[in-house]
Structure 1
Amino acid sequence: MEFVSPEGLRLDGRRPMEMRQIRAEIGAVSSADGSAVFEMGNTKVIAAVYGPREVQNRGQQLNDQALVRCEYSMANFSVGDRARRPKGDRRSIEISLVIRQTMEACILTHLMPRSQIDIFVQVLQADGGTRSACINAATLALADAGIPMRDLVTSCSAGYLNSTPLLDLNYVEDSAGGPDVTVGILPKLDKVTLLQMDAKLPKETFEDVMELAIQGCKAVAQYIREVSTQNFIFLASVSQLSVIRNLSMLHISYLLAQTNEWSI
């Protein structure tokens, strides 16, 4: 199957080094301490964070740092007619572990000893790149919860098909059986925190594919910073309006009190 046309276009019309459109929404779950929805093309993930809070199982409590737990799942409707995976299957457990370890690399757990942070991630639509989307959603949710972090960890994948490195694989490309690399980085610290590869590649090709994935991570980081900044400005404006409203109510109450005194 030809994944890159002679004109240099992929099946979905992108260039080899072009990402799918990314979108994000912060604060999607009102009951959580922090939450976010993250989309990469048709892949859509929601993440919710609870904590830091008291450790539920005292036997798991860590005296010198916070306990980080993560649960990954896929909604029944997320894969359409494709095979559905039951909650708690081997792949779900493995991805939960990957997300947890990646988040632990960025969370300043030593600042929250004897506490617990729970991260719940669910895939709403799956069209390739779900691991990266989960990590990006979890990062935004942690930031929304105000969890102290070294940096925002971001993730992206890249593959190698038709002798061409491809950025941000969709489901059809991901299912082709070619090598693909999933990378997670701390962009400000310029540090790789996650590297997964499911097939062997020559050293030169691997370096090209990995560098492409890192560039994708940096593009995601830039977008996440913009979304976080916009959200901060929005919250600040809402807070300012709330203060103004409260001051106005106090002023009205004061005037009413003065009016009552004068009427007496």
Structure 2
Amino acid sequence: MAGLELLSDEQFRADGRRPNEIRRVRCKMGVFKQADGSAYLEQGDTKVLAAVYGPHEAKSGKNKPMHDQAIVNCQYSMAVFSTTERKQRPRGDRKSTEIGQNLKQTFESAILTHLYPKSQINIYIEILQADGSNLAASINAATLALVDAGIPMKGLVCCCSAGNVDDTPLIDLNHVEESQGDLKLTIAMLPLTEQILMLNMNGRLHEERLEKVMSSAKNGCKEILKDLSQAVRDQQLDLVTGS
């Protein structure tokens, strides 16, 4: 697909958004009573469930308990019905493992792990429907699940993808834009301090253009912060009112 088809002459994307617009975000916390924390998030047509267990005593295994901080474990998987391809998607495949590592890297930097020595925190992500920016949506959902579990963090972690079409940065990429664009970049950050916790990039781009794409992704994170903050406020209001 040519860049012209991803971005019209009037600077509209195929789904009607401007280049700097994120998709609609809908989210709810506390969707699983069995988990210590949980959240459901829709970012456009990408739909994610996140569950958090812990902190609890670290189990002996390949990850030995650490005397001065908690271990963060992350498992990412996609439901077999999450895409139009009806093929088996087993847990532990290469792509899922890679995304799980990105999640682990992000939240090891965000969680105040020193408060829970000799313990572990398990984060589980399930993609129910995939339409682009799966990693970003997973991190945003996991952030809400961790807040629901009452686990202290440096701040709300927000994540946004960005790409480049005809020298124009696009943020919060859908599946078509991910597949056909020149570049896919995903940034997880603490928007209030602008500390970058994770950066993942596929593709190549000139340094000057890359800076524009990164700046757009950061702005996307700040927009997503508004939605995640509202979800946290809604949950607190529900707790107060008992609804």
Unaligned runs of 5+ in 1: 242-264
* 1:21 counterpart = 2:24: yes
Please name the residue that 1:143 is paired with: 147
Match of 1:45 among 37, 48, 51: 48
Please name the residue that 1:129 is paired with: 133
Please name the residue that 1:227 is paired with: 231
- TM-score, normalised by the number of residues in structure 1: 0.87
Cα offset, 1:15, TM superposition = 1.0
Counterpart contact for 2:160–2:187, Cα < 8 Å: yes
Match of 1:202 among 202, 206, 223: 206
* 1:154 counterpart = 2:132: no
Per-residue Cα deviation, 1:16-48 (whole angstroms, up to 9, x for no partner): 111110110101111000000111100001000
Per-residue Cα deviation, 1:156-205 (whole angstroms, up to 9, x for no partner): 00100133211111001101152111001112222111111111111111
Tell me the distance in 1 between the aligned counterparts of 2:13 and 2:186.
19
Taking the TM superposition and a 5 Å limit, the aligned residue runs for 1:57-76 are 57=60, 60-76=64-80
Aligned-pair identity (%): 48
* 1:165 counterpart = 2:169: yes
Please name the residue that 2:183 is paired with: 179
Tell me the distance in 2 between the aligned counterparts of 1:116 and 1:86.
24
The one-letter amino acid paired with 1:232 is: Q
Please name the residue that 2:101 is paired with: 97
Per-residue Cα deviation, 1:129-177 (whole angstroms, up to 9, x for no partner): 0000000000000000000111111100010013321111100110115
Counterpart contact for 1:3–1:162, Cα < 8 Å: no
**Structure having the larger proportion of residues in helix:** 1
The one-letter amino acid paired with 1:208 is: K
Tell me the distance in 1 between the aligned counterparts of 2:188 and 2:13.
24
Counterpart contact for 1:37–1:45, Cα < 8 Å: yes
- TM-score, normalised by the number of residues in structure 2: 0.95
Distance 1:17 1:177, change over 3 A: closer
Tell me the distance in 1 between the aligned counterparts of 2:58 and 2:191.
31
Tell me the distance in 1 between the aligned counterparts of 2:114 and 2:95.
30
Name the stretch that deviates more: 181-190 or 117-126.
Answer: 181-190
Please name the residue that 1:112 is paired with: 116
The one-letter amino acid paired with 2:7 is: V
Cα offset, 1:81, TM superposition = 2.7
Cα offset, 1:57, TM superposition = 1.6
Tell me the distance in 2 between the aligned counterparts of 1:156 and 1:85.
24
The one-letter amino acid paired with 1:10 is: R
Where 1:105 maps in the other structure, the secondary structure is: helix
How big is the alpha-carbon RMSD for the aligned residues of Structure 1 and Structure 2?
A: 1.4
Unaligned runs of 5+ in 2: none
